[in-house]
Structures are given as C-alpha cells and as structure tokens.
C-alpha cells in the first residue's frame, strides 16, 4: 500500500517508538504531523527525516489542546485519516505508595489522551469514508505488572477502547487496532534496573529486547491490513 496523499498524526513522536512510526509512514508516502508536548528539538529532528511533515505541539490530556492541534494539522498539511496514539508516561510505585496525582496523570495521558485524539480524528475519517487508527498498548495491559497499577490499568483500558471503537467505526470504513509491545529500549524503559531488565528477558523466548523499528513495522502492518480491525498484535518476543 502506498500512503501517498494521506495525512497521519503521530502523538509522542519526538523520539523512540513515535519517532520511528513517523519515519516509516513518511517512507511510504504519508505527510506526518509530528506530535510532541515538551521535546520540540526531538520533534524537529524527526521531521527532518520526514518529507512534508510538521512538528505540532499537543497535550493529549487536554481535549481543548487536542482539538487545536488537529485544527493546526488540517490547516497546514490536510485532513488526518491516520492516527497513531503513542504518547505515554510512567509513574511507577507500589499501590500503597502511589499518590492520587501519580495515578491520575498516567490515566489522563495514556488512556484519556488516546480517547481525545481518536474522537477528534474520527471526524475526518468518517467524512472521507476511510481511516486507520493504531493504538500503542503494552503487555502490562494484558498481564499486569508490579509497581505499575496505573500504567497497567491505562493500557488495559486501551484494549477495550480499541475494540469498542472498531465496533462503532467498521461501517464507516475505519479500522482500529492495537500494538502491544514487550520490552523495547526507549526513554520510557531506561529507568529499569539491570535486575528488572534481566527478569523480563528471562521470560522472553527470543531473549532480547524489541526495537522501535519493529514496533513501527507492526503499526504499518495494521494500517495496510484493510480487513483487520479490533485486533491486538502482541509484539513481545514470546513473553510468558
């Protein structure tokens, strides 16, 4: 599939998984809105690799800011018919030590943020009769993870959000799918200590971490797979 003439919005695209998703979509012809919140330099660096792209600041946890960012994307590069929800944070702590703010911030960005972006992006997709939404989840959303009750809950919520949106949007020509990576070396996973990292690798059949490119390739597959919707791809190296 060529994505020439399509416009994609990738949140959390200033580096890591989001940046690689933006690059692979650009390689296949899409113009990409490079969504970032704080790392403008990172977003600009990604945009230099993506012809016809534009860095756009977006606070996914704020529905007003989301609407404004999509308005800007539409004015600058065209109606968005591909959305990749990557933006996310972690605030890891055991439940008994987790504060209200640490719980809510992770839910607001990782789950509500995906919903706000989907709701806004669907307008153009329904109008044109074609759209692709790919959410980035995590194996933590399927298995849970000690010290990540907030993150696991948010990523589990993404599973239900993806399936519900797929049911609602199928007749409109919009597919909605989920990619759930295992351990991938990004800024989000850098705080893991050597012991925790090795424990994960010991549970992974391929005995290595995933790469951001491998996640981006799975996202591209979801966009190209026109007869697949409401599905989850667990990209975890065979994690048990």
Catalytic residue among 9, 36, 115, 151: 151
DSSP H/E element including 36: strand 31-36
Active-site residue, 227 included: no
Catalytic residues: 151
């Amino acid at each position: 599939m060529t994505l020439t003439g399509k416009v994609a919005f990738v949140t959390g695209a200033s580096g890591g998984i989001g940046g690689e998703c933006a690059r692979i979509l650009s390689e296949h012809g899409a113009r990409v809105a490079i969504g970032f919140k704080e790392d403008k330099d990172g977003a600009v660096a990604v945009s230099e690799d993506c012809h016809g792209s534009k860095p756009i600041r977006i606070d996914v946890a704020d529905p007003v800011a989301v609407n404004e960012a999509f308005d800007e994307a539409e004015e600058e590069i065209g109606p968005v018919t591909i959305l990749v929800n990557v933006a996310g944070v972690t605030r890891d702590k055991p439940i008994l030590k987790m504060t209200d703010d640490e719980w809510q911030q992770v839910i607001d960005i990782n789950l509500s943020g995906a919903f706000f972006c989907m709701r806004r992006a669907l307008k153009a997709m329904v109008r044109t009769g074609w759209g692709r939404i790919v959410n980035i989840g995590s194996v933590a959303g399927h298995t849970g993870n000690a010290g990540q009750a907030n993150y696991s809950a948010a990523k589990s919520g993404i599973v239900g959000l993806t399936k519900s949106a797929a049911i609602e949007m199928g007749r409109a020509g919009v597919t909605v799918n989920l990619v759930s990576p295992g351990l991938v070396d990004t800024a989000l996973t850098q705080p893991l200590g050597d012991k925790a990292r090795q424990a994960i690798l010991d549970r992974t059949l391929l005995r290595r971490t995933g790469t951001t490119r491998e996640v981006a390739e799975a996202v591209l597959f979801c966009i190209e797979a026109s007869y697949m919707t409401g599905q989850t791809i667990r990209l975890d190296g065979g994690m048990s």
